[in-house]
């Protein structure tokens, strides 16, 4: 097990609602990345935060947004939920150096949009 924690474990929302997912990074890590994993697929990179700023972004619309706090924990916010947003959302922490960029994953938050 890694030291990365996520909350909540499961969440059910309806279409059009907004959701906030939370992540605490592993001790000593200053970078947090978020991924969406649909059923039967690999994780898809949403974005990464370093020093409270977005450091890179995948092909996700602006209604996916995030925050990183001074203690390096992070939030993922999704507005105007759509049915296709139903997925496992993974948080991963890592060090800043891209050459040693191992992602340490949390257990994920299972989001169901009805």
- The site for other proteins (CB under 8 A) is made up of 1-2, 4, 33, 35, 40-45, 48, 55-56, 58, 90, 92, 98-108
Nearer to other proteins, 73 or 104 (CB): 104
The count of C-alpha atoms lying within 13 angstroms of the C-alpha of 22, restricted to the half-sphere facing its C-beta, is 6
User: Residue 72 CB, nearest distance to other proteins (Å)?
Assistant: 17
Spatial distance between the Cα atoms of 24 and 2, rounded to a whole number of angstroms? 11
Spatial distance between the Cα atoms of 91 and 3, rounded to a whole number of angstroms? 11
Nearer to other proteins, 32 or 81 (CB): 32
């Amino acid at each position: 097990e890694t030291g990365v924690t996520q909350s909540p474990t499961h969440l059910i929302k309806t279409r059009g609602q907004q959701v906030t997912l939370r992540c605490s990074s592993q001790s000593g890590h200053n970078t947090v990345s978020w991924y969406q994993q649909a059923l039967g697929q690999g994780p898809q990179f949403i974005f990464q935060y370093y020093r409270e700023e977005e450091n890179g972004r995948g092909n996700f619309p602006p209604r996916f947004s995030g925050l990183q706090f001074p203690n390096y924990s992070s939030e993922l916010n999704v507005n105007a939920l759509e049915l296709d947003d139903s997925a496992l959302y993974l948080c991963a922490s890592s060090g800043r150096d891209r050459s040693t960029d191992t992602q340490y994953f949390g257990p994920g938050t299972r989001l169901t949009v009805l």
